[in-house]
Structure 1
Amino acid sequence: MSHTASVPPAIDPRSRAAALRRELMRNRLLDTVFDLYQPGQANGHLVIDDVIQAAAVSRGSFYKYFDSLEAAVDALGERLTAGMIGDYRRLFDDGDDPLLRAVGGAAMAMLRAWHDPRWAGFTCRVDYVDYFERASTFDLMVRDALDAARSQGQMAFVLIDVAVDLIVGVTIEARRRLMRPSVAGPRAYMDEMIARTFYALDTPPLAVAAVLDRVWLRLAKDGPVLDWWSTNHGVPAS
């Protein structure tokens, strides 16, 4: 009895090209939504016509990919959140001290806002925050780090939702400030915001200071591989 290796069906080059065109168009529309949501734009009443005009596509082309502007905003939120999760996992892993993971997540979000104001502007919007709360793996990762830190006696709180909301709320306000070009002393600002937040969770000041030093060293070492990292910014001086 002969045995023949199964051969996967050949991929039609035309199908591959069509799939690539669809992906490029979808990304073009998402990039346009991102551009229209950048800081300083009057985008409080953004409508589909704004997107198709800026992207130079037809209304029909838009509706091939998204049922509504809200669907496009959610898709953009999904893309940005996936990127944030990937970055977090590149910098911090499950074997790390949970306090390091918790502080590191807050520091990474703040640092990216300083590097990438467009990202900060979009992720501070109510649209994104609502998406983040509905469908974020990152939220679950934050909860896991906080719960583990509490179990190890590194912090104290009763309700995990209070701890999560405190950190998320603080990082949103911090991103709003750090995306401004005129922000002064970004490192001092980030350090104090993070310290005050974790003091509120009963983390000892010396423990916060020690873990912050470790976080900044890791960001300085591994941060330059991240897509949003700007060599002109790096890690701000303390």
Structure 2
Amino acid sequence: MTSAAPVSPAVDPRTAAAAIRRARMRERLLEAVLDLYQPGQGSGSLVIDDVIRAADVSRGSFYKYFESLDAAVNELGERMTADMIADFRRLFDDGEAPLVRAVGGSIMAMVRAWHDPRWGGFTCRVDYVDYFARASMFDLIVRDALATARSGGQMVFRSLDVAVDLIVGMTIEGRRRLLLRSVAPRAYIDEMIERTFTGLQVKPDALEQAVARAWSVIMEAAPGLDWWRPGDEGCIS
């Protein structure tokens, strides 16, 4: 006697449709938050009223999905930090030299701001910077690259916290400047990297090689990066 395989219950079309509507509404609210976090949009401190007005929904609709504006900002922060970590690991895995990883991560963050202004605009807002400071996974990646480069004699600094803050602060200010479209991006990024890592006492020849390798990796991966804008390669020519 054989037993028949269990049959999966059919999905109720109404349940599926409701789930799709909920997902779309959640995305609509997050898109409104993202739009409001762009340079020149809103005031220095956004409130829920700004979001519901931009999304054209009721206050009750917002609270069905998020308990507060901070909760929505944190969800966007989680997504963007996860994207950043995924791209970093894809481009600069453990096979790359620590100095290349440290330099490459900094270049990648600034290049993405040039190609993806909405991402750059959001990640420069103080709310996201505060969230980023709590995102221990990426913090550990940055710390590991810097600590390993120091132990290998490629950098010199006393405090790892100072080195991390220097790198993160540089990329934030770099993104803000690049969003203004007021500089030649490749030249600007290269000088930011040079001045910052020279401050960490990286030898000029080693830094030049690391920068060249980092750009080579980014250029090779560019066609497969979902935020890369085709036709905007001029920023790294």
TM-score with structure 2 setting the length: 0.91
The yes-or-no answer on 1:223 pairing with 2:222 is yes
Answer yes or no: is the 8 Å Cα contact 1:187–1:237 preserved in 2: yes
Structure 1 segment 73-92 matched on structure 2, within 5 A: 73-92=73-92
| Amino acid in structure 2 at the alignment position of 1:43 | S
1:9, distance to aligned residue in structure 2 (A): 6.1
Answer yes or no: is the 8 Å Cα contact 1:103–1:212 preserved in 2: yes
The yes-or-no answer on 1:100 pairing with 2:100 is yes
| Amino acid in structure 1 at the alignment position of 2:75 | A
Answer yes or no: is the 8 Å Cα contact 2:81–2:135 preserved in 1: no
1:214, distance to aligned residue in structure 2 (A): 0.9
| Change in CA separation of 1:220 and 1:51 when aligned onto 2, cut-off 3 Å | same
| Change in CA separation of 1:6 and 1:213 when aligned onto 2, cut-off 3 Å | farther
State the partner residue of 2:125: 125
| Amino acid in structure 1 at the alignment position of 2:226 | D
Cα distance between partner residues in 1 of 2:177 and 2:217 = 24
Cα distance between partner residues in 1 of 2:58 and 2:84 = 31
| Change in CA separation of 1:52 and 1:185 when aligned onto 2, cut-off 3 Å | same
Cα distance between partner residues in 1 of 2:178 and 2:100 = 22
1:4, distance to aligned residue in structure 2 (A): 7.3
Cα distance between partner residues in 2 of 1:53 and 1:105 = 37
- How well do the aligned residues superpose, as a CA RMSD in angstroms? 2.0
| Amino acid in structure 1 at the alignment position of 2:105 | G
Cα distance between partner residues in 1 of 2:216 and 2:49 = 46
| Change in CA separation of 1:155 and 1:4 when aligned onto 2, cut-off 3 Å | farther
- Secondary structure, in 3 states, of the residue corresponding to 2:233? coil
Cα distance between partner residues in 2 of 1:57 and 1:47 = 14
State the partner residue of 1:27: 27
State the partner residue of 1:155: 155
Cα distance between partner residues in 2 of 1:16 and 1:207 = 56
Answer yes or no: is the 8 Å Cα contact 1:102–1:145 preserved in 2: yes
1:52, distance to aligned residue in structure 2 (A): 1.0
Same amino acid, percent of matched pairs: 65
Deviation by residue 1:76-110 (Cα, 9 ceiling, x = unmatched): 11111111112212211122211111111000011
Answer yes or no: is the 8 Å Cα contact 1:101–1:145 preserved in 2: yes
1:179, distance to aligned residue in structure 2 (A): 0.6
| Change in CA separation of 1:92 and 1:15 when aligned onto 2, cut-off 3 Å | farther
